[in-house]
Amino acid sequence: MAAGSKDVKIFADDEDLAEGIAKYTAELSGKFAHQKGAFTVVLSGGYLIDKLRKLVEPPYAGEVDWSKWHVFWVDERVMKKDDPDSCYMHAFRNFLSKVPIPPAQIYAVNDSLDAEGAADDYEARLKDLIKIEVLELSPHSKFPRFDLMLLGMGHDGHIASLFPHHPLLGEKNRRVAVIRNSPKPPPVRVTFTLPVIDSAAYVAMVVAGSVEVDAVKKALGGEDNSSELLPVQMIKLENGEFTWFLDKLAASKLG
């Protein structure tokens, strides 16, 4: 697949979708663990974590070298990480607690700080990980290059906590930013910016069910002539591969 290209995979049902994501992720884990001794993975919230469930089952659970995983979040709600509504807690309960990733390699947003402090702290931690070569720096920009981002999309086409019409879509300097007026509650969050997403080596956009079907159609159908792009359409990978993982419901308006 050419650099910066996009691929679309459509699965018959939820089980096939979860299997496809597990196989894809396990293969990339093996590739990067062999090439550089680490695999840097960015997670999102929502139902994405449920779609990773096959990774904690045979054969993947025993094949993946979990000691090489370094886990990050594309965005987080500003709340205690033991709050059941936090992205961290959702991922911990349903995925991370079931696999032997070293706790020191799971990078939750610091919940002892306010929003600005948490964003600054997360950005500083990324810089430190670049210095010790756990994270690579994109050769095309000053932003970290994550191996794999496992992302979801909202019905309005938002990704991370980057929403339509929001000024943060134009942020070019920060790696981690604060949003205080998120249209989706809670209003205060920290989020990776678009340049960080654009710097990734691989992005998997996982969409299932009928809620986002119109956004999928606009992003992939090629029929919408409006000048305004959805946030998901604004992702322009510098030198990476973007793959859509859709079930039949999500893809039902693609023809």
Domain boundaries, given as residue ranges, for the chain: 6-247
Q: What is the CATH T-level fold of the domain 6-247, as seen in this structure?
A: Rossmann fold (3.40.50)
Distance of CA 247 to the CA centre of its chain: 18
At CA 162, angle to CA 42 and CA 39, rounded to 5?
Answer: 10
pLDDT, tens only, 124-178: 999 999 999 999 999 888 899 999 999 999 999 999 999 999 999 999 999 999 9
Q: Is 0.75 surpassed by the pTM of this model?
A: yes
* pLDDT beyond 70 at 3: no
Q: What pLDDT was estimated at residue 224?
A: 56
Q: What pLDDT was estimated at residue 125?
A: 98
Judged by DSSP in three states, 174 sits in coil
> Can the peptide bond before residue 186 be classed as cis, meaning omega within 30 degrees of 0?
yes
Number of alpha carbons in the 13 Å side-chain half-sphere of residue 127: 10
